[in-house]
């Protein structure tokens, strides 16, 4: 019998705060009512703040992050177009796979899993592309499979230094609202996200921001599309409406989650993710024989840590022990990393003590799976860090 809380430490879906859950408990409503925009229009405005964009269009597409990937591609790229992508984990892999299946000519740079977007290589390739064959440059901001965050400003700089005109496509599914993301400053043209990660909502919405350049491209793009067509969406979104029945419950939830982010202050939300992540990293460092999959601190992700277990044990056992004995869900090692890695998702509605619980649970599960780690070593390392961090004053947005 499981009592108490299930401890959800996967990198999405994340914990939905009670405030958000309760906000969604409302009767069905008329999505063509004259006042429907009062619910939806502020959401577009709120999302723009999180994307840090003034000029982009934001779409809320029924679906998930993967649907928003597809919307980004089919609205702006034609079959046979050449795109530059890189692959260093399961999510960047799936994006390449989608681009190929949609008929793009993918120039893919394969990178070791544990590293990120190869900015220098991108710069070289873009410089060499003097006749502008490359129409899109793709970058996975936070590779959730390996816990690696890439340098999107660096990708923008690579484009600029080559004087290259390609559009910049960023997967921000597991970074938006949790890791610094700057749509306008970084000149991002299409930025994909979803509802169930940093935005602390149930799954069900693909979120997409498109620059004016991307919107202009969608007007001449001839790729067949219908459900996710930008023009249909924009036509109705401007009044707060949708071309088909939208998930109003999620909108009520989003109104609350955006309010929570606003109250805490986006900068504070980002700083909290860094603080919580650092505690997890210190715990991993304290665990003998364990290490992060991310090979360099510049790539450490503040939303998910992929933890390489000692070779003598199977990470799948850690995950199953965590779930069956301690009521804790950890993320699994995906494809290549199966058995080698388990992941602690630390994004969304979380605090220090919740992370301590995850670390303590992981220690028990690691020991049960046969790892010779010292119980309490990671917890102690994280406690020391969180105590130090708590002693620093935190500036609240409301102050
Ligand atoms: C979760 C995730 C996706 C897929 O999103 P879905 O909402 O599951 O379709 C894509 N990219 C990254 C980086 C993710 O973390």
Instruction: Say if residue 323 is exposed, middle or buried (CB neighbours under 10 Å; 0-12, 13-18, 19+).
Output: middle
Give the position of tokens 């609205």.
75
State mean pLDDT over 69-74.
98
398 found inside a domain: no
What pLDDT score was predicted for residue 231?
98
Q: Above 70 in pLDDT, residue 93? A: yes
Position 255 pLDDT exceeds 50: yes
For the chain, what is the HEC assignment? CCCCCCEEECCCCCCCCHHHHHHCCCCCCCCCCCCCHHHHHHHHHHHHHHHCCCCCEEEEEECCHHHHHHHHHHHHCCCCCEEEEEECCHHHHHHHHHHHHCCCEEEEEECCECECCCHHHHHHHHHHCCCCCEEEEEEECEECCCCEECCHHHHHHHHHHCCCCCEEEEECCCCCCCCCCCCCCCCCCEEEEECCCCCCCCCCEEEEEECHHHHHHHHHCCCCCCCCCHHHHHHHHCCCCCCCCCCHHHHHHHHHHHHHHHHHCHHHHHHHHHHHHHHHHHHHHHCCCCEECCCCHHHECCCEEEEECCCCCCHHHHHHHHHHHHCEEEECCCHHHCCCEEEEECCCCCCHHHHHHHHHHHHHHHHHCCCCCCCCHHHHHHHHHHHHHHCCCCCCCCC
- 200 CA distance to ligand 1 centroid (A)? 14
pLDDT over threshold 70, residue 397: no
Probe ligand 1: pick from 66, 67, 199, max atoms within 8 Å of CB? 66
> Average pLDDT, stretch 34-51?
98
The pLDDT tens digits of the residues spanning 205-243 come to 999 999 999 999 999 999 999 999 999 999 999 999 999
Residue 130 pLDDT class (50, 70, 90 cuts): very high
C-alpha span between 251 and 257 (Å, rounded): 10
Last residue of a domain, one of 235, 262, 289: 262
Å from CA of 261 to ligand 1 middle:
21
The fraction of the chain above a pLDDT of 90, given in percent, is 96
Same domain, 187 and 38: yes
In a shared domain, residues 180 and 246: yes
Whole-number Å distance between alpha carbons of 83 and 74 = 13
Give the range of the structural domain holding residue 320, as residue numbers without chain letter.
7-13+265-390
Q: Is residue 335 part of a domain?
A: yes
Ligand 1: distance of its center to the CA of 8 in Å? Answer: 17
Number of domains in the chain: 2
Residues 225 and 337 grouped into a single domain:
no
Most ligand 1 atoms within 8 A of CB, residue of 11, 85, 91, 334 to mutate: 91
Say how far residue 144 (Cα) sits from the centre of its chain: 7
Residues with CB under 6 Å of ligand 1 are 12, 64-66, 91, 140, 142, 144, 171, 173-174, 194
The residue assigned the tokens 């990660």 is: 197
pLDDT exceeds 70 at position 70: yes
Examine residue 138 and state whether it is found in any structural domain, yes or no: yes
- The answer, yes or no, to whether residue 65 has pLDDT greater than 90, is yes
Looking at the fold, whether 380 and 350 belong to one and the same domain comes out as yes
* pLDDT score, position 3: 85
Same domain, 192 and 333: no
Question: Tell me, what CATH number does 384's domain have?
Answer: 3.90.1150.10
Nearest-10 crossing angle of helices 377-390, 352-368: 170
Based on the domain organization, do 152 and 177 belong to the same domain? yes
CA distance 24 to 238: 23
Ligand 1 midpoint to CA 144 (Å): 8
What is the C-alpha end-to-end distance of the chain, expressed in Å? 45
What is the predicted pLDDT for the residue at 391? 85
- 395 lies in some domain: no
Q: What is the pLDDT of residues 259-288, one digit of tens each?
A: 999 999 999 999 999 999 999 999 999 999
Query: What is the whole-number distance in angstroms between the Cα of residue 173 and the centre of ligand 1?
Result: 5
pLDDT of residue 246: 96
List, in order, residues 6 or more apart from 76 with CB less than 8 Å away.
136, 167, 189, 190, 210, 214, 217, 218, 221
In a domain, 2, yes or no: no
Atom index in ligand 1 nearest the CA of residue 143 equals 13
On whether both 240 and 288 belong to a single domain, the answer is: no
| Averaged pLDDT of the chain | 96
**pLDDT, tens only, 324-361:** 999 999 999 999 999 999 999 999 999 999 999 999 99
Domain match, 252 and 273 both: no
Q: What is the CA(70)–ligand 1 centre distance, in A?
A: 12
Nearest ligand 1 atom, CA 197: 1
Sign of the torsion formed by the C-alpha atoms of 22, 23, 24 and 27: positive
Is residue 398 pLDDT above 70, yes or no?
no
Same structural domain, 311 and 227: no
Tell me if 176 sits within 8 A of 199, measured CB to CB: yes
Task: Give the integer Cα–Cα distance in Å for 74 and 346.
Answer: 32
- Predicted local distance difference test score (pLDDT) of residue 394: 60
Q: Does residue 238 share a domain with residue 112?
A: yes
Closest atom of ligand 1 relative to the 194 alpha carbon? 7
C-beta separation of 75 from 230 below 8 A: yes
The CATH number given to whatever domain includes residue 185 is: 3.40.640.10
Shared domain for 115 and 253, answered yes or no, is yes
Domain end among 262, 282, 298: 262
Answer with the one of 224, 242, 262 that is the final residue of a domain.
Answer: 262
pLDDT of residue 4: 86
- Residues 214, 318 within the same domain: no
Residue 399 reports pLDDT greater than 50: no
């Amino acid at each position: 019998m499981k009592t108490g809380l299930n401890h959800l430490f996967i990198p999405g879906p994340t914990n939905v705060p009670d405030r958000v859950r309760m906000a969604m408990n409302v009767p069905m409503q008329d999505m063509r009512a004259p006042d429907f925009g009062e619910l939806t229009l502020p959401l577009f405005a709120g999302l723009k703040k999180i994307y840090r964009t003034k000029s982009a269009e934001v779409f809320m597409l029924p679906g998930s992050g993967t649907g928003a990937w597809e919307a980004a591609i089919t609205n702006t790229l034609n079959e046979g177009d050449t795109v530059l992508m890189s692959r260093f984990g399961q999510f960047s892999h799936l994006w390449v796979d989608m681009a190929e299946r949609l008929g793009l000519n993918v120039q893919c740079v394969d990178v070791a899993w544990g590293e990120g977007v190869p900015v220098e290589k991108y710069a070289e390739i873009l410089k060499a592309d003097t006749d502008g064959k490359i129409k899109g440059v793709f970058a996975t901001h936070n590779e959730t499979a390996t816990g690696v965050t890439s340098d999107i400003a660096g990708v923008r700089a690579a484009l600029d230094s080559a004087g290259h005109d390609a559009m910049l496509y960023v997967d921000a599914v597991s970074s938006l609202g949790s890791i610094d993301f700057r749509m306008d400053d970084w000149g991002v043209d299409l930025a994909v996200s979803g509802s169930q990660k940093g935005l602390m909502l149930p799954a069900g919405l693909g979120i997409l921001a498109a620059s004016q350049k991307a919107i202009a491209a969608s007007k001449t793009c001839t790729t067949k599309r219908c459900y996710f067509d930008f023009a249909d969406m924009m036509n109705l979104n401007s009044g707060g409406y949708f071309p088909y029945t939208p998930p109003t419950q999620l909108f009520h939830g989003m109104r609350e989650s955006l309010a929570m982010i606003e109250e805490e202050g986006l900068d504070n939300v980002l700083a909290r993710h860094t603080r919580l992540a650092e505690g997890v990293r210190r715990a991993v460092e304290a665990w003998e024989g364990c290490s992060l999959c991310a090979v360099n601190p510049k790539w450490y992700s503040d939303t998910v840590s992929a933890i390489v277990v000692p070779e003598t044990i199977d990470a799948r056992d850690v995950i199953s022990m965590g779930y069956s004995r301690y009521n804790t869900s950890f993320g699994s090692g995906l494809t290549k990393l199966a058995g080698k890695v388990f992941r602690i998702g630390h994004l969304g509605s979380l605090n220090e003590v919740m992370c301590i619980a995850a670390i303590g649970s992981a220690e028990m599960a690691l020991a049960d799976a046969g790892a010779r780690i010292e119980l309490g070593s990671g917890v102690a390392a994280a406690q020391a860090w969180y105590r130090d961090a708590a002693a620093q004053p935190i500036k609240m947005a409301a102050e």
